[in-house]
Chains A and B, each alone.
Chain A
Amino acid sequence: MINVAIVGTGRRGSRHAANFAQIDGCRVKRVYDIVAANAENCAEPLGAEVASDFGQCLADDIDAIVVVTPTDVHAEYCIKAAQAGKHIFCEKPMTRTLDEADQVVKAVAAAGVKMMVGHVLRFSPEYQTARQMIQEGQLGDVGMIRMARINLMPGGWYGDLPRSGGVILDMIIHDFDWLLWTLGRPERIYAHGLYEQLPALDYALCTFRFPRGTVAFVEGSWADATGFRTSFEITGSDGLLAHDSTESTTLVAQRRGEDDEVDGSAYLPMTPTSKSPYQIEDELFIAALENDIAPPVTAQDGREAVKLALAVLESAQTDRVIYYA
């Protein structure tokens, strides 16, 4: 039995907690949040203990720590966890700064623990399929790759650039990781961003030049009220491959309220598969611990994505072309 402790029980942390609780051979033993009420709400349905301080999550009965806090404190928790000999699952982005990323990688290596970073697109079937088709050459030589990730500004600490890194570090790092995973490092980067508009909104237009003529464009929006959506379009000498999450919706539900008014909120599954990519990544982390193998996304991968996202942010902030690879 692998006992995990969840650190940070906001919306995403509670989701991970529920996911881990469903995995055979895994138990959510303890949860911790700086807001005790949040921790209690998360712990209660799972029968988990509430830790009154983070140190209790490092006790001998815990095997792994799941870090789902605001980004700027990821490094602190990850390093303490590694030093206590705990395996780590950390939400993306792995850290707020590259220096912190280096420290985390070092601490994990020194402690000989396993670490996985939540770059969840690697477990989304539409993104997996697109990567596979590129690598099998089904699109020929790839020209333009357009990717978009559109949402409202989430509020709270996300609106604080020094804490979250804005839409570039927090959200479209998903797409950056997919590009790194699929194509390797870009040769150069140029980006524009509206980070100065935070906390009202953020928006980014990012260009990447990869070897062999491939150009990637990533649009990230925290300025859209029409609901979360993602899309990509990959064009090559042998074809065009396109995805739009709003056009792959397999279930839409509407609830009628007490007053017979239709509740306009629709349920959009992220993917028409039985397991969400979030569930899959959590299961793969536990499987890596059980089988003593490397997790599918490592601390080094997490560092690569942070490094690229910070270069994009630097380009946007300095209005300069960054020669990268």
Chain B
Amino acid sequence: MSDKPRIGMISFAHMHAFSYLNVLLSMPDVELIGIADDDTERGKQVADEAGLPYLNSEEALLERADGVIVTTENVRHREKVLQAAQAGVDVMCEKPLATTMEDGREMISACREGGVQLMTAFPCRFAPAFVEARQMIEAGDLGRILAISATNRGRNPGGWFVQPELSGGGTALDHTVHMVDLMRVVTGQEPVTVYAELDTVYNPGLEVEDCGLLSIEFVDGCIAALDCSWSRPPHYPVWGDATMTIIGERGNVAVDLFREHLDYYNNNDQSYTWAGYGETPDDDLVRAFVQSVRSGEPVPVTGEDGLRAVEVALAAYKSVEHGGLVSLPLQQ
């Protein structure tokens, strides 16, 4: 491979694709080979604006690529990742990795058999506050981790996110996986039980749940709670949050990953919003994927990591269905 890995993007269905594209465009050591999209009009428009080629098929993109980023609707992750695996192309897949355990397992084994790397797009791992908290915890500063209270709250994203045939689920699937991934990292443990309360409250008539609270216990007894609700009003000053309070035997650490902001009061539309500044965790996420494509070094967040997080979200649905605690790993 040349020094400049050839990276392509598959689909702009997910809004994170635009952020990933901006990171790739800013990287001089990447050859951005183009965009494929099931939605031709959307794909062409994005390609035109970015000054990139639009390719009529994934096959054409995969033929030339060393790595691709898949940002389709959730239920289409499987199909695109399997195509990449067959073409021998490394792939970073948007979260949630899959909408069923079967799909996820198939994606992981196909990538293994195809000799390609599968990375799950978990940007929160790369947020500076989390990186620093993780270092403190791994250095033993907090002792054993006893409890975690987390939130990943947002607005109702609308669109295909609230169509279960495309999203696979609502807020529990959308907003559980990030924080469960971080919990697995800081505890170094796997979850063993999940209890959940889910409901549709904020948007009556929505086909998916928009309010959710998960209680999770890990192998070593660490207890955790996670609020995954789409509870931010449409005019809330920021999209949402990702927070964790971590209680250790010897100390606590609290992270609020997207807290840095400027208060912005705009006279023209009478709005108040948080103006972000600095880098976004997407910068280091995309760079890490490109680095793994270039060097062949293992990706820092694997497909297994992605599927473990999905499993907790699926367990939450099962808990609500059966009205009780669900043990992990999920039975077939």
A285 at the interface (CB under 8 A from B): no
| B197 pairs with A207, CB closer than 8 A | yes
Interface segment among A113-121, A176-184, A234-242: the answer is A234-242
Interface segment among B93-101, B179-187, B224-232: the answer is B224-232
Q: A194-B247, A205-B147, A207-B215 are in contact. Are A143 and B229 (CB under 8 A)?
A: yes
The docked-state distance in angstroms from the alpha carbon of A237 to that of B215 is: 24
A205 contacts across to B, CB distance below 8 A: 147, 149, 215, 223-225
How many cross-chain pairs have Cβ atoms below 8 Å apart between A and B?
95
Q: Which residues in chain B, 175-218, are within 8 Å of chain A measured between CB atoms?
A: 193, 195, 197, 199-204, 210-213, 215, 217
| B225 pairs with A143, CB closer than 8 A | no
B210 contacts across to A, CB distance below 8 A: 143
B324 at the interface (CB under 8 A from A): yes
| B247 pairs with A207, CB closer than 8 A | no
B223 contacts across to A, CB distance below 8 A: 192-194, 205
Main secondary structure of the interface of B (DSSP, over half): strand
A142 contacts across to B, CB distance below 8 A: 201
B225 contacts across to A, CB distance below 8 A: 192, 205, 207, 217, 219
| A143 pairs with B211, CB closer than 8 A | yes
B147 contacts across to A, CB distance below 8 A: 192, 194, 203, 205
Interface residues on B, range: 20 to 34
B325 at the interface (CB under 8 A from A): yes
A240: which of B203, B236, B323 is its contact (CB, 8 Å)? B236
B146 contacts across to A, CB distance below 8 A: 194, 197, 203
Beta-carbon nearest neighbor of A201 in chain B: B247
The docked-state distance in angstroms from the alpha carbon of A193 to that of B323 is: 21
B273 at the interface (CB under 8 A from A): no
B213 contacts across to A, CB distance below 8 A: 144, 207, 215, 217
A319 contacts across to B, CB distance below 8 A: 193, 217, 325
| B201 pairs with A141, CB closer than 8 A | yes
A146 contacts across to B, CB distance below 8 A: 227
Q: Which residues in chain B, 236-267, are within 8 Å of chain A measured between CB atoms?
A: 236, 245, 247, 249, 252
B276 contacts across to A, CB distance below 8 A: none
B217 contacts across to A, CB distance below 8 A: 192, 319
A235 contacts across to B, CB distance below 8 A: 202, 211, 229, 231, 233
A164 at the interface (CB under 8 A from B): no
B231: which of A143, A192, A224 is its contact (CB, 8 Å)? A143
The docked-state distance in angstroms from the alpha carbon of A205 to that of B244 is: 13
Q: B9 to nearest A CB, angstroms?
A: 35
A73 at the interface (CB under 8 A from B): no
The docked-state distance in angstroms from the alpha carbon of A143 to that of B233 is: 12
B325: which of A191, A203, A240, A321 is its contact (CB, 8 Å)? A321
The docked-state distance in angstroms from the alpha carbon of A296 to that of B90 is: 67
Q: A194-B247, A321-B325 are in contact. List 20 more A-B contacts (CB 8 A).
A: A143-B211, A144-B201, A144-B229, A190-B215, A192-B223, A200-B249, A207-B215, A213-B199, A213-B200, A214-B201, A215-B211, A217-B225, A219-B225, A219-B245, A223-B252, A235-B202, A240-B231, A240-B232, A320-B325, A321-B323
For this complex, 25 residue pairs linking A to B, each with C-beta atoms less than 8 Å apart, are A141-B201, A143-B231, A144-B201, A192-B147, A192-B215, A192-B217, A192-B225, A193-B223, A194-B146, A194-B223, A197-B146, A200-B249, A207-B195, A207-B225, A213-B199, A214-B201, A215-B197, A219-B149, A223-B252, A235-B202, A235-B233, A237-B202, A237-B203, A240-B236, A321-B323
